Structure 1
Amino acid sequence: MHNNGGVREEIDVSTTRGDLAVRLSELIQRRWSADVRAVGVHGSLAHGDDQDGSDVNLLVVTYRAGAGPRPALRRVDGTLVDLEVATGEEGLRRARQLTPRWPLDADRFVTTRVLHDPGGWFDQQRDVHLARLAEARPPEFTGLARHNWEMASAAHGRAVRLAEWYETDAALVMIAEARLRAALVAGFLTRTYFRNAADAVKRTGVAGADIQELASVLKTQAEELTARGRPVDGTLSALFDQGL
């Protein structure tokens, strides 16, 4: 097994997921030896708490676009493998971005279990992302929080209407979307990132929130956003305010 950079702890090959990740990495390195810059895993394998039912989230970093294996999502020996491929430049560009999904994306930038990384690319990815966070000003996070609040409010409104029309299944889908978006709002307001969507709604306390409880959460968040100078409602001219 190769372990040449990034998070240096060895992956546990005694588990099905760990063994599969290592075998995949070694196969990729043999087949695309001149194209692959680094290979690592994120998610539960990176945190060392994977269990039966966990996925293998593998990132292959290449030197140039179109090189290396193709991205894929499929089961291998009963385990779901999410194989992502990106150039080193593209990967670092993503690490520099703050998008509305930041609370769900950040974990992968700072926690990776390395399988192959002779040049220390994963260390660079982590440092680039942490530097971006350090330079981000509060209004940037608040603006992204407001974006998610608008999405949460819209989903909540649809859930209310669907419930009134007895479209229960569709209403549940919208409630789930509203919960997740409300969790992302909380993540931005506190600069907290999460392992995944389930972790986000659980840690922010909205996992079991019903329509009425979500309305209360969104009201409180709207007040907080207003207090931070990013009100969720405004005049027509405010629509073109690019200050997030």
Structure 2
Amino acid sequence: MAENGVVIDGPDTTSARGSLAIRLRDVIQHRWAAEVRAIGLRGSVAHGDDTDHSDVNLVVVTYRPKTGPKPALRKVDGTPVELQVVTGEEGLGQARVLTSRWPLVADGFITTYPLYDPKDWFTDQREAHLTLLAEARPLEFTQLARHNWAIANGAHARAVRLAQWYDTDAALVLMAEARLHAALVAGLLTRTYFRNVADAVKRTGVAAADMQELGAILKYQAEELTARGRPVDGTLGALFD
């Protein structure tokens, strides 16, 4: 199956993770046959490039709220499983809203592999999201990028201060947060979405950035945001624009 230029052949059912995805689908269909509208597979297993350390990410679409299986995050036969549950209306609504985490959620809207989808709900979700992207104005992406920049800048500043106090462990945690949000800034400014957090920081070149390098990246991003009409600093009145 080809989606947005990405070819997805589906899970390798001979692998432990592909086999588990099929088993999960079958159990869900059997136990909640009247409640489940669609079941989809996301992440590396759906893309067909999973490894022995990969999770199985399933999304279950129900007809009504609070029906079907409960959301879950745990291991099954040694494999981490994330089970998301959403109603059809909620799922389409999510696909029609641009958020500050768009670079991390768009892949799920665009490249979900349908394990069970008799009425093409996942196609509808994909089309809803692609329509949103086609209609979104550049300033909407820039506004969300500035939001992520503020988080990244704040985390970076706290990390620098903690490092000066020799609280290295806390500084490392905040640096990870700063790198992620700097990657989200880059993704929003270029309309690039990522497979996951690791993919985001790697593809944007911030994964190995130290404090000084990340500071320089944030400075460049601030200049870019200003050039695009969304400066990171301004007057009191500008706060409410």
Question: Where does residue 198 of structure 1 map in the other structure?
Answer: 198
Counterpart mapping for 1:206-217 below 5 A: 206-217=206-217
Deviates more, 1:9-18 or 1:53-62: 9-18
Q: Does the aligned pair in 2 maintain the 1:8–1:114 contact within 8 Å? A: no
Question: Where does residue 126 of structure 1 map in the other structure?
Answer: 126
Counterpart mapping for 1:98-137 below 5 A: 98-137=98-137
Question: Where does residue 74 of structure 2 map in the other structure?
Answer: 74
- Can you give the 5+ residue segments of structure 1 that lack an aligned partner in the other structure? 1-6
Deviations 1:103-159 (A, max 9, x none): 000000001111100000000010000000000000000000000000000000000
Residues in 1 aligned to 2:219 and 2:81: alpha-carbon distance in whole angstroms: 40
Q: Does the aligned pair in 1 maintain the 2:142–2:188 contact within 8 Å? A: yes
Residues in 1 aligned to 2:120 and 2:153: alpha-carbon distance in whole angstroms: 42
Residues in 1 aligned to 2:8 and 2:175: alpha-carbon distance in whole angstroms: 40
Q: Does the aligned pair in 1 maintain the 2:9–2:47 contact within 8 Å? A: no
SS in 2 for 1:231: coil
- Can you give the 5+ residue segments of structure 2 that lack an aligned partner in the other structure? 1-6
Alpha-carbon deviation of 1:229? Answer: 0.5
Q: Which amino acid letter does the alignment assign opposite residue 115 of structure 1? A: L
The answer to whether 1:152 aligns with 2:152 is yes
> Identity over aligned residues, as a percent?
70
Q: Does the aligned pair in 2 maintain the 1:17–1:45 contact within 8 Å? A: yes
Question: Where does residue 27 of structure 1 map in the other structure?
Answer: 27
Residues in 1 aligned to 2:230 and 2:10: alpha-carbon distance in whole angstroms: 45
- TM-score, normalised to structure 1, is 0.95
Residues in 1 aligned to 2:10 and 2:125: alpha-carbon distance in whole angstroms: 19
SS in 2 for 1:65: coil
Residues in 1 aligned to 2:154 and 2:9: alpha-carbon distance in whole angstroms: 43
Q: Does the aligned pair in 1 maintain the 2:11–2:47 contact within 8 Å? A: no
Deviations 1:171-210 (A, max 9, x none): 0011111111100000011000000010000000010000
Residues in 1 aligned to 2:161 and 2:10: alpha-carbon distance in whole angstroms: 51
The answer to whether 1:227 aligns with 2:227 is yes
Question: Where does residue 52 of structure 1 map in the other structure?
Answer: 52
Question: Where does residue 163 of structure 2 map in the other structure?
Answer: 163
SS in 2 for 1:218: helix
Alpha-carbon deviation of 1:100? Answer: 0.5
SS in 1 for 2:157: helix
Count of residues in correspondence between the two structures: 235
Alpha-carbon deviation of 1:11? Answer: 2.5
Q: Which amino acid letter does the alignment assign opposite residue 63 of structure 1? A: Y
Residues in 2 aligned to 1:208 and 1:60: alpha-carbon distance in whole angstroms: 36
SS in 2 for 1:229: coil
Q: Which amino acid letter does the alignment assign opposite residue 75 of structure 1? A: K
Deviations 1:159-179 (A, max 9, x none): 010001000000001111111
- TM-score, normalised to structure 2, is 0.96
Q: Does the aligned pair in 1 maintain the 2:8–2:48 contact within 8 Å? A: no
Residues in 2 aligned to 1:59 and 1:20: alpha-carbon distance in whole angstroms: 14
Question: Where does residue 86 of structure 1 map in the other structure?
Answer: 86
Q: Which amino acid letter does the alignment assign opposite residue 202 of structure 1? A: K
Question: Where does residue 141 of structure 1 map in the other structure?
Answer: 141
The answer to whether 1:96 aligns with 2:96 is yes
Question: Where does residue 3 of structure 1 map in the other structure?
Answer: none
